[in-house]
């Protein structure tokens, strides 16, 4: 089976403050459903209170990031599914729960991972 990344940037979730608890509850219900179905690998949200670091091949650490990922935030999950069609169905469930579109990406197969 293939692993899929389903994610969204934080700014995509434009939910009124009074609806945020309901969105969290709905999202947790979908994750519990994925766990019960045996397709959940891991997931979570990027902690925006902790700045990213760049760690070079020589171990040097700097307070920066790649320009194209400077605004990487929001939530994500990785599911292991039998097909892209199944991944689209799960992404739709998550989009409904989170009230925002989800980006779907497929991990390449690596027998060593």
Has residue 82 been placed in a domain?
yes
* pLDDT for 94: 97
* pLDDT for 73: 84
* pLDDT for 67: 87
* pLDDT for 37: 98
Give the DSSP letter string of 10-49.
Answer: GGG----GGGHHHHHHHHHHHHHHHHHTT-EEEEEE--TT
Task: Using 50 as the pLDDT threshold, list the residues of the chain that sit under it.
Answer: none
Number of compact structural domains in the chain: 1
Has residue 88 been placed in a domain?
yes
* pLDDT for 69: 81
pTM: 0.88
CATH number for position 40: 3.30.70.1060
């Amino acid at each position: 089976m293939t692993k899929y990344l389903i994610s969204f940037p934080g700014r995509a979730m434009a939910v009124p403050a009074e609806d945020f608890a309901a969105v969290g509850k709905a999202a947790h219900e979908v994750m519990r459903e994925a766990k019960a179905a045996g397709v959940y690998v891991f997931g979570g949200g990027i902690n925006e209170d902790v700045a990213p670091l760049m760690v070079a091949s020589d171990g040097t650490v700097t307070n920066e990031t790649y320009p194209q990922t400077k605004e990487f935030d929001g939530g994500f999950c990785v599911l292991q599914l039998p097909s892209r069609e199944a991944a689209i169905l799960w992404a739709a469930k998550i989009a409904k729960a989170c009230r925002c579109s989800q980006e779907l990406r497929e991990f390449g197969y690596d027998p060593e991972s």
